[in-house]
Structures are given as structure tokens and as C-alpha cells.
Amino acid sequence: MSTRKKQATPAGTDVPRHIAIIMDGNGRWAKRRLMPRVAGHRKGVEALRGVIRACAERGVSHLTVFAFSSENWRRPQEEVTLLMELFMRALENEVARLHENGIRFRVIGDLSGFSERIQALIRDAEALTRDNTRLTFTVAANYGGRWDIVQAMKKLMAAGVSPDEVDEAALAQKLSIADMPEPDLFIRTGGEQRISNFLLWQLAYTELYFTDALWPDFDPAALDEAIASYRTRERRFGRTSEQVRSAS
């Protein structure tokens, strides 16, 4: 086996370095309360605030959340508009607090789909927080895993890379979160058990965790349950259980 393949096996740790979350169930949370869907999205922002803080306190170094998929444009125009407003308001109101807490903020996705105003807020927030190291908090917005792989391929081709030179490492380097460790733990709230075109490439060996909790109800205790489940997993990366145990 090549050294590269051996090195590609990350050491297991108790606390996931990188958690990726599909925050789902806002609409149902609101519907159960006979409230408009946007009320669920608003409550979802609050839940996210708690989860960011909890991740920082628990020593998670990367948190990546799915806020708006490239497919979510298919929703009713009114909901899309309200989601954009909410995103803009969150950018205006939350970034200073993230910065005070030593959190680096990033956005991944096809930003050309957003208004000039939102794009400018994103650029400013990323610039302000770029040297923070406590936690990197990444929002996937107008993001799709397939889009990410295609844009990476386009970058390789534009750089004149020949087919012989294309390998997994070369492609991975051009993906949106190339500089981050791959997610150790994936969480999806809202009961659905699917990836919905989130980080397709990067989730290849991620431990998956699905919960029926709706995103607005997902609090730090729920996060701890997910992390506890993660701790019980044996990450073999293709090897046998015996190999894993003798290596640790």
C-alpha cells in the first residue's frame, strides 16, 4: 500500500474535528404551531447560534452547515425572498459576535446567485474574520455537492492540467473546502435520511447521524447526543477491526 493511502487515514478522536449539518425541519416546526414557515427559519437561526457556541466550547474546529441548497430555488418565490432577507439580516447582525468569539466565517456555494448586497456582506464578513482560529464556521449557500465537483473540474481544466495528472488529490484541492479536514460527523435533523446534494465528495468516510428532532429544537444537548453516538463508532477506513485496534 502506498504511503499516501496510509496517511489518508485520519486518527480517530473523541471530539469530531469537523461536523457537517443539514439543518432540516424548520417548515414542519412552524406548521405544527400553525405559524408561517418563515417563523421556523427564524427559530432555526437561534438554534444555529446555540450549536455554534457549543461546538466552539467542545473544541470542534470546523462546523459546516447547509443553509440553502441549489435546489431550494424551486421553493415558492415568497419563501425564497424571505429566506434571502433572513440570511442578509443574519449577516448584518451576527458577524460581529462571531468575530468577538474568535470564529472564522466562510460561505461556500455559487455566490453569483445572490444579490450584490448579500455578496458584499459575505466578502466583508470573510475578510473581517479571516485570521480567527478558534472555530471555522462555514455556511453552504446556493451550494450543491455536484456543483462543487464540476467547478473543481473546471478549475483543473482552466489551469491546463492534463488527464494523466488528474487524480483524487488534484481534484480535492480545487473543492470549496479543500483546506479543511473532511467531516468526521454528519448530522441531519428533521427525520429524512438523505444527503440532498450536500458535500458529496467530502462525506465519503464521514459517520452519518440522523435524528427526528426538527432543527429549531436541536440544542446543545442534542448535539452532545450526536457526538456521543459518534464516539461509539469504529472508523475502519477499509481496514479490519483487528487492524484498527492494534494500531491504537
Q: Which is nearer to ligand IPE, 26 or 176 (CB)?
A: 26
* List 20, 22, 125, 139, residue binding ligand IPE (CB under 6 A): 22
Of ligand IPE, Mg ion, none, which one sits near residue 23, judging by CB under 5 to 8 A according to partner kind?
ligand IPE
Instruction: Sort strands 135-143 and 103-108 into parallel, antiparallel or unpaired.
Output: parallel
CB of 237 to ligand IPE, least distance (A): 27
Q: Which residue is associated with the grid cell 455566490?
A: 111
- Using DSSP, state whether 65 is helix, strand or coil: strand
| 96: CB partners within 8 A, 6+ apart | none
Q: What is the CA radius of gyration of the chain?
A: 19
Binding site for Mg ion (CB under 5 A): 24
Chain centroid to CA 227: 16
> Is residue 69 part of the contact set for ligand IPE (CB under 6 A)?
yes
Q: Which is nearer to ligand IPE, 56 or 139 (CB)?
A: 139
Q: What residues act catalytically?
A: 24, 72
- Using DSSP, state whether 103 is helix, strand or coil: strand
Of Mg ion, ligand IPE, none, which one sits near residue 66, judging by CB under 5 to 8 A according to partner kind?
ligand IPE
**What pairs with residue 65 in β-bridges?**
21, 139
- Answer for the pair 138, 108: CB distance below 8 angstroms, yes or no: yes
x/- site string to ligand IPE, residues 130 to 169, per CB under 6 A?
Answer: ----------------------------------------
Interface ranges with ligand IPE (CB under 6 A): 22-28, 66-69, 72, 83, 190, 192, 194, 196
